[in-house]
Each structure stands twice: as structure tokens, then as C-alpha cells.
Amino acid sequence: MDITQEVSVEKFQAIAAAILKEGDRKFYCNKYNNSPHYKIDGFDVYLDPVNQLTNWSAVQLSDNVSDYNTIVIQDFRNEMIYHSVRLKGETVVLEFDCKCDGEVVRKTFLSNYLLPIEQMLLK
């Protein structure tokens, strides 16, 4: 689902830059065990790399915003634990794995996640 109107490419990159600058590194799945991470009021925000073959065990991981194209929200309080926001060229897409109303998912993402992320990271 295209959310570029709400999350511009510039805003996506600003959020990723803030996570890299202000956050830490944390495991959240077997594929990504040293991901850039930031904890916000009950949920976690991670960055996934453009190159899925990135060596996550490396001591020096990239701090370049351009090396990350996905922001992952992890919230164990909700039925849908993961939300992914992916940068695809000049488009920002909200991805989700459920057979639910996409508009409801979009509104939930914007109010429950994007607003707190903006308040914490884009001050």
C-alpha cells in the first residue's frame, strides 16, 4: 500500500538516519541478528538492509542511510506484530501479512506508530 503522501522518501531517510544515530543494535530474527534498533514506548523499530546478504555478524555494520530500505515495527501488544515500511525507488510502501482491511492497517500505522516515531526521532 503506497503511503508516500504520509511518509515521503525524505521522511523515511530522516527516520532511518535518526535510528542509526540515536539507536543501538539488537537481534529480532534469525536473518537479522544485529539490526539498527530504537525502542519507542512499547514497540521496537528496526532497519533492514537493501542487500539481504549483508554480513550481520560483522563488527562494523554500515551507518549509511542508503544501505537500508526497510523500517520494521515490532509490537507484541497487537495481533499483527510486524509492520514494514519499504522504500521502493521514489515510493514508500506499507507492507503487512494479513487478510485485513488495508485502510484500517494504514490508519493504525499512522496513528499508533508513525506519530510516536516522528515525536521521538524527528524532534
pTM of the model: 0.88
> How confident is the model at residue 19, as a pLDDT?
94
CB count in 10 Å sphere of residue 59: 6
Where the chain has pLDDT below 70, the residues are 52-62
Tell me if residue 54 falls in helix, strand or coil. Answer: coil
Strands of 11-96 (E only): list them. 24-26, 35-40, 43-49, 68-74, 82-88, 91-95
User: At residue 54, what is the residue type?
Assistant: T
